[in-house]
Chains A and B, each alone.
Chain A
């Protein structure tokens, strides 16, 4: 082991240098940011095209009645994201890899097919969001769909989405603040808003169920579940990082839903309060920003919706393809070429291509597409959650990080409730009376 030493060294007395410890030079670089991040990014990407639209529709249609769903989703999101983070921390494996190892080809295949379906819906929503937002500037949908597809390609090609991501998140934060301010300016009935957050109200109609499931489905998403786990694993976070991760996902769940609540309130105070209970276009939804921005409401809304859509577009298709290829052992990753990772790129192209073409359907109601895609997400969500919860209680996989009885109970309760909701919706749609 004897490393060569300059000959004169031993003869020269030298001081031990404690500087790096005492002076704090070379602090572990941004250790905090490495940990506090995945949840927040996932949370912000959560308020994507589908998210903004769904909260707007819900606020306009039911006023403050569904505030309780926003609160319930916040709690549920915190729970499911913590479970996801634990899976990543304990195993160091992404969602796809772990599904495969735990459930084999059939089980993992089923779960991943389900997730891909939901994510395809989300991707279509992102394209619809871009179409709807640019339509406010008079850009025809075919053109904006093309632009969006091009944007994705540029991102994947030039990559480093990691950095660009923060720009989009910054705009996302801006939009969120805009909603908060606008909601305040609109003189909403705060008492009502807070009461409805705790005491549910409403009649169990099909439309009501649809709104409930849409809100849940846009907050807790199959891809969000995959994202948090894969992100935590990919960043090499370790079981000892659990406290930070919890803080991260907790904070993210809180912020995401506070923003959601402001959107609902803003829409309730502007649209619903003035008798406009349906949103048919982006221009309608933009009215919620009127109290703040006046004539610029449309521009502001368009920018917000556009960046949210692009952020989602940079996250959802990539997460989907990553999870699928990981589970089946196909080559993957942006640092491989087409030749090395054909399935990865083929799937990615399919996601982008299908969604871009889908929004080209003439006369497609973009708002309805975004809204219903989130309901679709909500319908498929229980399946993913069952898989997640089954893994979460597996001591062989998780060791010390296995969910305790409290987290288990909470997790299964959430799963059960959402399943019930999905079943109820399906029944109400089949037999409306």
Chain B
């Protein structure tokens, strides 16, 4: 197996066996599926320069010999999507897509295929570490003596997503296409482990909807805010628009005011209004927990008209648990399930078959009260009303559970610092 560590510091000699320098780094171009080596960065005579891979004749772990003499050396042709392996990948964090976790690159595996050298794998195991320190041989000898197996831990390049973002050099655009396909909850876990720059790089690659879902999954206002702050205002407000208003309100409440206000102004007016309303409620009340995404229809409609209205609204899955029935002043009159609507005769007025005594909570109700009511009546969502019984929003069961019980995975993230 060929590893990057074997190249680093190898002596470079030209065709006349003159010493030219030592290998500093290898340059690859990001081709699919595997990047291929196009150049060598070397240091000799107190200067750093690059040479094209095509002039390399042969190599082993001590020496890299060239086909030409020193005078005939040309720098490699620079392209946009190139990567310096040692500087930008080695020792950095990388996302292991299959294991859905962030790992550190201990070494890089290369492979010679039809005359070109390809980057095929990432070493994330202890053997890679040992190799870097120069004790892999010793370790192999020891494990062999003890009849132990010491496997390589390699991940195929196809199954990783480099997250590196270099602040100084040419900004490398990594598509993160693989990462973008993962489930938002997985992306959230991964993003958790990354540095702020890498986080923004990942978010830059996600679609607005995916970014919104991921942000909702992150569940830690401080981190959410820090991610949004590094995105430009337009992009950040686009993502916010795709999020549920209650989540947006939670998030903005943790941001510096000017920035929050700036974001609100950039958002569509309707969305911004919803969020501002929610922001007016204290966080530990039904008002603070609720979302304004719910389905309400006028009591004068017939079943058929109500269904038609639903088609127009295209509500999210979360908000279609119940259809609330209201009068012209938004007073909550009744509630319907989708099933009720569908089985009813099309021309029946909905006020004739709706359930009239709706269970609801006031905007000032505490989370525990909301939880008790949802549990007692087996509700998926409970409407929130003001003192005049006007509907203000709904609290969905997942939001209230999250508040009352420790978060998913048996507890919040346990802090060390």
Do A238 and B229 touch across chains, with their CB atoms under 8 A apart? Answer: yes
Interface size class of B (residues with CB under 8 A): 35 or more
Judge whether A91 is part of the interface by a CB distance below 8 angstroms: yes
CB within 8 Å of A: which of B246-297?
Answer: 253-257, 261, 268, 270-271, 273, 276-277, 279-283, 293-297
* Residue ID in chain A nearest B296 by CB atoms: A6
Q: Are B296 and A20 in contact (CB under 8 A)?
A: no
Interface string of A143-173 (1 = CB under 8 A from B): 0000000000000000111100000000000
Is B388's beta carbon under 8 Å from chain A? no
* Chain A residues in 8 Å Cβ range of B253: 20, 26, 28
Quick one: given A2-B314, A8-B328, A14-B273, are A100 and B91 in contact (CB under 8 Å)?
yes
Chain A's nearest CB lies how many Å from the CB of B183?
19
Question: B187 at the A/B interface (Cβ < 8 Å)?
Answer: no
Determine whether A274 belongs to the interface, using a CB cutoff of 8 Å to chain B.
no
- Residues of chain B within 8 A of A318, CB atoms compared: 416
B296–A7 touching, CB < 8 Å: yes
How many angstroms between the C-alpha atoms of A319 and B417 in the bound complex? 8
- Contacts A7-B297, A227-B417, A334-B416 hold; do A106 and B133 have CB atoms under 8 A apart? yes
Judged by a CB distance under 8 angstroms, whether B148 is at the interface is no
B391-417, CB < 8 A from A = 391, 409, 411, 413-417
B32 on interface, CB distance cutoff 8 Å:
no
- Who on chain A is nearest to B226 by CB? A236
With A6-B295, A234-B416, A322-B416: A20-B167 Cβ-Cβ less than 8 Å? no
Q: What is the minimal beta-carbon distance from B73 to any residue of chain A, in angstroms?
A: 27
Determine the chain A residues whose CB is within 8 A of the CB of B255 once the complex forms.
Answer: 28
| Chain A residues whose CB sits within 8 angstroms of the CB of B411 once the complex forms | 335
Q: Mark B319-340, 1 if CB is under 8 A from A, else 0.
A: 1000010101110000000000
| Residues of the B chain whose Cβ atoms lie less than 8 Å from the Cβ of A25 | 279-282
> Within 8 Å of chain B (Cβ to Cβ): is A177?
no
What is the interface residue range for chain A against chain B?
A: 35 or more
**In the complex, A339 has a CB within 8 A of chain B:** no
B149 in contact (CB, < 8 A): no
- Cβ contact within 8 Å between B268 and A21: no
Does the CB pair B195–A91 fall under 8 Å?
yes
Evaluate contact between A26 and B106: CB separation under 8 angstroms. Answer: no
Please tell me which one of the listed residues B208, B276, B279, B296 contacts residue A8 in the complex, with CB atoms under 8 A apart: B296
- Cα separation A334 to B253 with both chains bound (whole Å): 29
| Residue interface mask A37-48, B partner, CB < 8 A = 1 | 010000000000
User: Does B309 touch A at the CB level, under 8 Å?
Assistant: yes
Q: Is B242 an interface residue (CB 8 A)?
A: yes
Whether the pair B226, A21 counts as a contact (CB closer than 8 A) is no
Residues on A with beta carbons closer than 8 Å to the beta carbon of B276: 16-18, 20
- The CA-CA distance from A6 to B413 in the complex, in Å, is 37
> Are B293 and A4 interface neighbours, CB within 8 A?
yes
CB distance from A124 to the nearest CB of B (A): 21
Residues of A within 8 A of B416 (CB): 230, 234, 318-319, 322, 333-334
B58 located at the interface, meaning its Cβ lies under 8 Å from any Cβ of chain A in the complex: no
CB-nearest residue of chain A relative to B270?
Answer: A5
- Asked if residues B241 and A20 are in contact (CB atoms below 8 Å), the reply is no
Taken together as a complex, chains A and B put the C-alpha atoms of A11 and B326 apart, in Å, by 14
Q: Beta-carbon contacts of A72-107 to B below 8 Å, as 1s and 0s?
A: 000000000000000000011100010011001110
Partner of B280, one of A20, A92, A233: A20
- Give which listed residue, A6, A8, A319, A329, contacts B124 with CB less than 8 A: A329
Bound CA span A328–B123, Å: 12
A203: interface (CB < 8 Å):
no
Provide the bound-state CA to CA distance between A335 and B279, in Å: 32
Query: Are A19 and B314 closer than 8 Å at their CB atoms?
Result: no
A12 at the interface (CB under 8 A from B): yes
Supposing A25-B280, A109-B133, A399-B167 touch, asked if A4 and B414 sit within 8 A by C-beta, the answer is no
Interface residues of A in 98-127 (CB under 8 A from B): 100-101, 104-106, 108-109
- B132 contacts the other chain (CB 8 A): yes
Contact (Cβ within 8 A) B330 A8: yes
Check if B223 sits within 8 Å of A236, measured CB to CB: yes
Min Cβ gap B310→A in Å is 9
A contact residues around B132 at 8 Å (CB): 104-106
The reply on B51 being an interface residue by CB < 8 A is no
Provide the residues of chain A in CB contact with B315, threshold 8 Å.
4
User: How many angstroms from the CA of A16 to the CA of B275 in the assembled complex?
Assistant: 11
Chain A minimum-CB-distance residue to B166: A396
Is B313's CB under 8 angstroms from A4's CB?
yes
The reply on A34 being an interface residue by CB < 8 A is yes
Centre residue among B167, B255, B293, B294 by max chain A CB count within 10 A: B167
Judge if B140 is at the interface, Cβ distance under 8 Å.
no
Write out the residue numbers on chain B whose beta carbons fall within 8 Å of the beta carbon of A109.
133
In the complex, the answer to whether B271 meets A3 with C-beta atoms within 8 Å is yes
A231 to B104, CA, bound (A): 20
**Chain A minimum-CB-distance residue to B309:** A7
1/0 per position for B211-255, CB-CB distance to A under 8 A? 000000000101100100100000000000110010000000111
B197 sits at the interface (CB 8 A): yes
Among B91, B326, B413, the one with the most A-chain Cβ atoms within 10 Å of its Cβ is B91
Question: Is the Cβ of A236 less than 8 Å from the Cβ of B222?
Answer: yes
- B129 CB within 8 Å of chain A: yes
Task: Name the one of B273, B279, B319, B417 contacting A234, with C-beta atoms under 8 angstroms.
Answer: B417
Whether A395 is near chain B, meaning CB under 8 Å from some CB there, is yes
B226: chain A residues at CB < 8 Å are: 236, 238
Given A105-B132, A396-B168: A3 and B91 interface contact (C-beta under 8 Å): no
Q: Which of A17, A28, A231 contacts B417 (CB 8 A)?
A: A231
A7, A9, A333: the one contacting B414 at CB < 8 Å is A333
Cα A302 to Cα B186 in complex, Å, equals 49
- B35 within 8 Å of A (CB atoms): no
Which A residue sits closest to B283, measured CB to CB? A26
- Cβ-closest chain B residue relative to A29: B254
Complex CA gap A422/B245 in Å reads 59
CB nearest neighbor in A for B105: A329
Q: Which of A12, A17, A329 contacts B106 (CB 8 A)?
A: A329
- A430 interface contact, C-beta 8 A: no
Contact check: which of B101, B261, B417 meets A230 at CB < 8 Å?
B417
Interface core residue of A8, A18, A29, A160 (most chain B CB under 10 Å): A8
Closest 5 CB pairs of A and B: A329-B104, A6-B296, A105-B132, A20-B279, A92-B196
Q: Name 22 A/B residue pairs within 8 A (Cβ), A-sorted.
A: A1-B268, A3-B293, A6-B295, A7-B296, A8-B328, A9-B330, A17-B276, A25-B281, A28-B256, A91-B197, A100-B91, A100-B104, A104-B132, A105-B106, A105-B129, A235-B417, A238-B226, A238-B229, A329-B106, A334-B416, A335-B409, A399-B167
The chain B residues found within 8 Å of chain A, CB to CB, are 90-93, 101, 103-106, 124, 129, 132-133, 166-168, 195-197, 208, 220, 222-223, 226, 229, 241-242, 245, 253-257, 261, 268, 270-271, 273, 276-277, 279-283, 293-298, 309, 313-316, 319, 324, 326, 328-330, 391, 409, 411, 413-417
